[in-house]
Amino acid sequence: MKKIFLGAPGSGKGSYASRIAPKRNIPHISTGELFRKNIEEETEIGIKAKEFMDNGDLVPDEIVIEMLKNRIENEDCQNGFILDGFPRTIPQAEKLAEITDIDIAVNMDVPDAIIIKRISSRVTCKDCGEIFNIITHKPKEDGICDKCQGEVITRPDQKPEIIQNRLKVYEEQTAPLIDFYKNKGILQNVTCNDFYKSVDEMAEKVLDTILSFTKNATNPIKKIIETNKQ
């Protein structure tokens, strides 16, 4: 199944994708992570992307689309994938529709107050991208990733003024994708109103939503009813 996880920065999509993908045996593809790897390896893509990312702006569509297209042509994407952080603009979504058919878009619906609190307490593994939170989900050992033992750091784009810009960019350029996928009849919303709700619990909720949507998708009338309820 080809899935898209939508949501503002800090909405949890990356954390849930990293838990759900191995359970479904499909790759978790985060364009943010792909860019960070490219920056670390000082590739041409990395050099082009760095300035935009450091400012909290989006990397231009043509660079992202090319990188994503190459990634999903890999053998491991044949049975599906979870896209986290792509598409982020309507032109990216239109291009994606030309490349492949998406089965479901899950939107993480989280109030701004929670987003801001979460994002400013978020730390990330430098090596594998695993996301932690110094209030609700600390690494077991300070500064060390539970998953790969890599170094856990505060990402350079987590400064308050950069966060503000990322949220503005999200509202202007990414939020319109909610209606885009709603109109295609494949949008499912998952709400989180509780800052302290555990990542594992939320990931379960997202997975349940995906599984019940898949079941309903085989029954066209049920699917229309569910979609209209959104």
By CB under 6 A, tell whether 59 contacts ligand ADP.
Answer: yes
Q: Tell me the C-alpha to C-alpha distance, in Å, between residue 156 and each of 65, 70, 127, 181, 222.
A: 24, 27, 15, 31, 45
H or E stretch covering 71 = helix 61-72
Per-residue contact string for residues 116-155; x = within reach of ligand ADP by CB under 6 A: ----------------------------------------
Task: Identify which of residues 12 and 139 has a Cβ nearer to ligand ADP in the complex.
Answer: 12
Active site residue 71: no
Task: Identify which of residues 92 and 188 has a Cβ nearer to ligand ADP in the complex.
Answer: 92
Task: Pick from 64, 93, 105, 177 the residue near ligand ADP by CB under 6 A.
Answer: 64
CB of 53 to ligand ADP, least distance (A): 4
- Supply φ then ψ for residue 189, to 5 degrees: -100, 140
CA max distance for the chain: 51
Please report the DSSP string for 17-32 in residue order.
HHHHHHHHT--EEEHH
User: What is the footprint of ligand ADP within residues 92-111 (CB under 6 A)?
Assistant: 92
H or E stretch covering 215 = helix 199-217
Stretch binding ligand ADP (CB under 6 A), from 50-58, 179-187, 188-196, 199-207 = 50-58
3-state secondary structure of 151: strand
Query: What are the residues binding ligand ADP (CB under 6 A)?
Result: 9, 14, 30-32, 35, 52-53, 56-59, 64, 85-86, 88, 92, 157, 166
